[in-house]
Amino acid sequence: MNVLVFGPPGSGKSTHSRTIVERYGLAYISSGDLIRQEIARGTELGRELKRYLEGGELIPDTVVNTLVISRLRKHRRNFILDGYPRTAEQVLTLENYLYDHGLTIDIAMEIFITKEESIERISGRMVCPKCGAVYHVRYRPPRVPGRCDVCGSPLVRREDDRPEIVAERYDVYMRNMEPIIKFYRKQGVYVRIDGHGGIKEVWERMRPLLDYVNSREASSRVFR
């Protein structure tokens, strides 16, 4: 089973991706992780990526495509892609690669939340600048308000997590994903999951669908 998962900021897609990886034994391929790993390895490409990020620039499609496709070559089938594809250009590259290797996306799952929910979930986040612990005013409040449970340092809010920035990130997501959703809807593999509510609640909406697609994919392989 080959899976795409996407959703606006705060949708919980990375949390659910990890559950999917464990349950179905898929390879987890995240464009964000691949970029961070490349930077950490200090390669020439990594230094180039760092310059883009530090300059607040978008990383060109060709670079993201190279990173993801070279990772896909190692797995061939049974993968989940998180954060990719994000542009029409990336969809083209991915679909060409899959076609050349006789592969398809079996399910493209969007975990959808409203803009209000996205802002609430992300802008309520507080982090400890010293030890990196993450809190949330509503979902995971520290024992002492404004103080880290682990080390007692004053908690801060990330610049990117400010409501107006989250609203902007949400709009960018919706704009970018529109043609991509249209494409996968035409392919008959797009599913929109209601991402509101608790993690377990949302997972129970996803699980039956994934179980179904996974069993169908397994039985079709026998006759192929």
- The residue from 58, 151, 174, 209 that contacts Zn ion (CB under 5 A) is 151
Contact 118, 8 (CB under 8 A): yes
CA 85 to chain CA mean position, Å: 10
CA–CA separation, 90 and 68 (whole Å): 10
DSSP 161: G
- The residue from 148, 166, 177, 213 that contacts Zn ion (CB under 5 A) is 148
Contact 81, 7 (CB under 8 A): no
Piece of 50-58, 112-120, 124-132, 177-185 that binds Zn ion (CB under 5 A): 124-132
Q: Which CB, 87 or 153, lies closer to Zn ion?
A: 153
CA–CA separation, 118 and 124 (whole Å): 10
Q: How many of the other CB atoms lie within 10 Å of CB of 38?
A: 19
Shortest distance, position 143 Cβ to Zn ion, whole Å: 12
- The residue from 94, 128, 193, 206 that contacts Zn ion (CB under 5 A) is 128
- The residue from 131, 134, 172, 218 that contacts Zn ion (CB under 5 A) is 131
Q: Which of 158, 162, 205, 207 is catalytic?
A: 158
Shortest distance, position 145 Cβ to Zn ion, whole Å: 14
Q: Is-catalytic flag, 158?
A: yes
What value does the CA radius of gyration of the chain take, rounded to a whole number of Å?
19
Q: Does 40 bind Zn ion (CB under 5 A)?
A: no
Q: Is-catalytic flag, 200?
A: no
CA–CA separation, 196 and 194 (whole Å): 6
Piece of 48-56, 61-69, 90-98, 140-148 that binds Zn ion (CB under 5 A): 140-148
Q: Is-catalytic flag, 224?
A: no
**Residue ranges with strand state E in 35-117:** 79-82, 107-112
CA–CA separation, 164 and 148 (whole Å): 25
Q: Which CB, 53 or 134, lies closer to Zn ion?
A: 134
Piece of 69-77, 126-134, 172-180, 198-206 that binds Zn ion (CB under 5 A): 126-134
Residues contributing to the site for Zn ion (CB under 5 A): 128, 130-131, 133, 148, 150-151, 153
Residues designated as active site: 13, 86, 125, 158, 169
